């Protein structure tokens, strides 16, 4: 009798212990399933957010984005089964309540998501990409010294003929720093050329005349002594900002010594304009007086010259030597004489490296 009672107690204890263990295992499974479901929902939401960002950034259309999101959500049951299959016996689950997609309709979410995520990363890193492109383009920048000498004169009401100033002696001298940067590192044939230069516009009068101020007007009067023709002139000095679209048709070849591609001298062309500010106006006079003394005068003043200068310029050349023409769109003088525009035609040497 005691043996029977003892066996009954042991059986009852074992049953209780088994039920407790079963409950504990079930709770562990439930917790594991819950954690995996939450993790998957988070991952799914990340994917959906990435698609939405791609739509906002223009990588995908709204229709394409909605279709991808629908595919993600409709395939979540398939993903959940693979995520929690180690925690539960999936064969014991009744899947008849779920409507399965045809294999032809199932989207390869990993591939799609990778593409969307890549597009999203590309969009978010666009600022850095832009900086890298600009940095690479600036590495092709060329800078150097420029110098030009040109014949010059004043056009009267657009006419270049019959000027009151000497064609052979009036000139324009320019020197400064010029830079060139290509619009693309892959094709450096087209670029932007700009710089900072000093321009000297020198007008030589004819018929032994000099400039004289009469109120606000500037007139020319005959000088009482014989002027030194090559030493008497009016000079206006401008600090100028030239800017041009530059076309360089030079061809590249590989330099074995330098170990890099270099350009051969070729045909070049540039079109653009300039803006300048008058920093100095002077009249230089040299003559011999009645005592036979050589007299030099340097008359610094306003001389009715305009403060700002702006105009058009163009150049064609080969290698470092260019023919350059410039035409001021502004009047040379503020008041009378009016309708006079400065122009020049000459040579420019550009030593850009």
Same structural domain for residues 120 and 223? no
User: Looking at the domain assignment, is residue 4 inside a domain?
Assistant: no
User: What contacts 350, CB < 8 A, 6 or more positions away?
Assistant: 144, 146, 178, 320, 322
- Pick from 60, 93, 124: which residue ends a domain? 124
Q: Which residues pair with 181 in a beta bridge?
A: 192
Are residues 168 and 307 part of one domain? yes
- Give the tokens for residue 297: 């005068």
Residue 10 in any domain: the answer is: no
Are residue 226 and residue 106 in the same domain, yes or no? no
Q: What is the pLDDT of residue 222?
A: 94
pLDDT, residue 81, reads 47
What is the Cβ-side half-sphere exposure of residue 23, based on CA atoms within 13 angstroms? 6
Instruction: Report the pLDDT value the prediction gives residue 301, as an integer from 0 to 100.
Output: 85
Chain mean pLDDT for the chain: 77
Interacting residues of 251 by C-beta distance below 8 A, sequence separation 6+: 263, 264, 266
Q: Mean pLDDT check: name the lowest of 32-46, 54-68, 158-172, 338-352.
A: 32-46
End-to-end CA distance of the chain: 113
- The predicted-structure confidence for 282-304, as pLDDT tens digits, reads as follows 999 999 998 989 999 999 988 98
Same domain membership, residue 152 and residue 40:
no
Question: Among candidates 145, 169, 237, which has minimal Cα distance to 200?
Answer: 237
Range of 62-66, 149-153, 159-163, 301-305 with top mean pLDDT? 149-153
DSSP 199: E
Q: What is the pLDDT of residue 239?
A: 98
Backbone angles phi, psi at 3, to 5 degrees: -65, -40
Share of the chain above pLDDT 90, in %: 42
Reply yes or no on whether the pLDDT at 98 is more than 50.
Answer: no
33 and 173 share a domain?
no
The residue-averaged pLDDT of 256-276 equals 80
| 88 and 231 inside one domain | no
Residues shown for the chain:
353
Residue 141's pLDDT is what?
A: 82
Q: Is residue 268 located within the same domain as residue 347?
A: yes
Name every residue whose Cβ is closer than 8 Å to that of residue 125 and which is 6 or more positions away in sequence: none
Shared domain check, 295 and 155: yes
Q: Which pLDDT belongs to residue 136?
A: 53
Q: Are residues 151 and 110 in the same domain?
A: no
3-state secondary structure of 218: strand
- The domain of 57 spans 24-124
Number of domains in the chain: 2
Residue 51 inside a domain? The answer is yes
Q: What is the pLDDT of residues 1-18, one digit of tens each?
A: 544 555 454 555 454 554
Residue 162 lies in a domain: yes
Looking at the fold, whether 231 and 105 belong to one and the same domain comes out as no
Q: Is residue 99 part of a domain?
A: yes
**SS3 assignment, position 137:** helix
214 located within any domain: yes
Cis-peptide into 270, omega within 30 deg: no
Asked if residue 157 is part of any domain, the answer here is: yes
| End position of a domain, from candidates 95, 124, 153 | 124
Whether 196 and 232 share a structural domain: yes
The answer to whether the predicted template modeling score (pTM) of the entire model surpasses 0.85 is no
- Tokens 């600036």 belong to 138
Here the CATH number for the domain that contains residue 290 is 2.40.160.20
Q: Does residue 255 lie in a domain region?
A: yes
Residue carrying structure tokens 């657009």: 158
* Cβ-proximal residues to 103 (8 Å cutoff; 6+ apart), any chain: none
Model confidence at 336, pLDDT cuts 50, 70, 90, reads: confident
Per-residue pLDDT tens for 36-80?
Answer: 555 555 667 777 777 787 777 665 677 777 877 777 777 655 554
Specify whether 178 is located in the same domain as 46: no
């Amino acid at each position: 009798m005691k043996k029977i009672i003892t066996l009954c107690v042991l059986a009852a204890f074992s049953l209780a212990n088994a039920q407790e263990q079963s409950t504990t295992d079930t709770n562990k499974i439930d917790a594991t399933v819950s954690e995996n479901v939450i993790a998957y929902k988070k991952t799914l939401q990340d994917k959906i957010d990435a698609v939405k960002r791609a739509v906002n950034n223009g990588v995908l259309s709204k229709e394409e984005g909605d279709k991808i999101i629908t595919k993600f959500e409709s395939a979540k049951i398939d993903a959940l089964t693979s995520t929690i299959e180690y925690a539960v016996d999936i064969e014991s689950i009744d899947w008849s309540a779920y409507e399965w997609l045809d294999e032809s309709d199932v989207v390869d979410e990993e591939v799609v998501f990778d593409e969307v995520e890549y597009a999203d990363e590309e969009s978010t890193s666009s600022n850095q990409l832009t900086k890298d492109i600009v940095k690479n383009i600036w590495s092709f920048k060329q800078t150097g010294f420029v110098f030009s000498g040109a014949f010059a004169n004043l056009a009267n009401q657009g006419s270049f003929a019959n000027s009151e100033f000497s064609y052979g002696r009036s000139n324009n001298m320019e020197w400064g720093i010029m830079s060139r940067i290509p619009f693309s590192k892959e094709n450096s044939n087209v670029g932007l050329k700009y710089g900072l230069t000093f321009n000297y516009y020198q007008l030589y009068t004819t018929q032994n005349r000099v400039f004289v101020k009469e109120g606000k007007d500037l007139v020319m009067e005959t000088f009482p002594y014989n002027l030194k023709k090559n030493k008497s002139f009016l000079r206006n000095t401008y600090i100028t900002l030239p800017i041009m679209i530059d076309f360089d048709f030079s061809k590249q070849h590989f330099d074995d010594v330098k170990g890099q591609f270099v350009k051969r001298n070729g045909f070049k062309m540039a079109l653009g304009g300039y803006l300048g500010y008058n920093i100095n106006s002077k009249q230089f006079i040299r003559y011999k007086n009645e005592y036979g003394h050589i007299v030099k005068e340097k008359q610094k003043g306003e001389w009715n010259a305009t403060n700002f200068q702006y105009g058009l310029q163009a150049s064609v050349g080969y290698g470092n030597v260019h023919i350059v023409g410039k035409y001021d769109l502004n009047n040379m003088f503020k008041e009378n004489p009016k309708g006079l525009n400065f122009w020049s035609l000459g040579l420019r040497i550009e030593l850009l490296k």
